[in-house]
Structure 1
Amino acid sequence: MDHHSSHFTQAFIHLDRLTHNMRLLQGLVGIRPLWPAIKANAYGHGAQIVGRHLVGLGYKTFCVAHVSEAIDLADAGLKATFIVLSATLPENSPYLVAYPCEPVVCTVEMVESLAGEAARTGKTISAHLKIDTGMGRVGIHPDAVADFLERCRNYPNVSIKGMMSHFPMADEADKSFSQQQIAQFHRTREVARSYGIRTFHFANSAAIFDLPDAHSDAVRPGISVYGLKPSHVMSNPQVDALQPVLEWKTRITFLKEVPAGTGLSYGHAFRTDRPSLIATIPLGYGDGMSRLLSNKLELLIGGVRCPQVGRICMDQCLVDVTALRGRVKLGDSVVIVGRQGREEITVDDLAQQLGTINYEIVTNIAGRVPRIPVGPSMAGASTESVGDDGTLKTLTER
Structure 2
Amino acid sequence: FSERYQDSTFAHVVKLDTAFAEGDDGGEACLGAIVDPGYILTTKRCASQQPQTISFHNVSLPRRGVQSTRYHLTADVALLQLKTRLSIDNQVTPACFWSGDASTVAGFPNLQRISRDTLTGGLRVQRTKCPLGGRERCYGDVKRNSTAGLVQIQAVSNYRQHPFVVGLGRGGDGAMLEVASIAHWIQEETGTSVDGIDCALRYAQFRQYDDRVTAHRAESYQSIQLQNAHFAPIMANGYRVSIGFYTEDPTRESVVTYACYGTLLHRQYVLTAASCLEEYRNHSIIVRANEVTKLTPAKVGEFRVVEDSHYLDEAYVARVHIHPEFSEIPLKNDLALLQLDVNEFSFEKSFKPACLWPRDSFKLQEFQTSGHGPRRS
Higher Cα radius of gyration: 2
Task: Pick the structure with more strand per residue.
Answer: 2
Task: Calculate the TM-score normalised by the size of structure 1.
Answer: 0.24
Higher relative contact order (CA 8 A, sep 6+): 1
Task: Calculate the TM-score normalised by the size of structure 2.
Answer: 0.25
Task: Pick the structure with more helix per residue.
Answer: 1
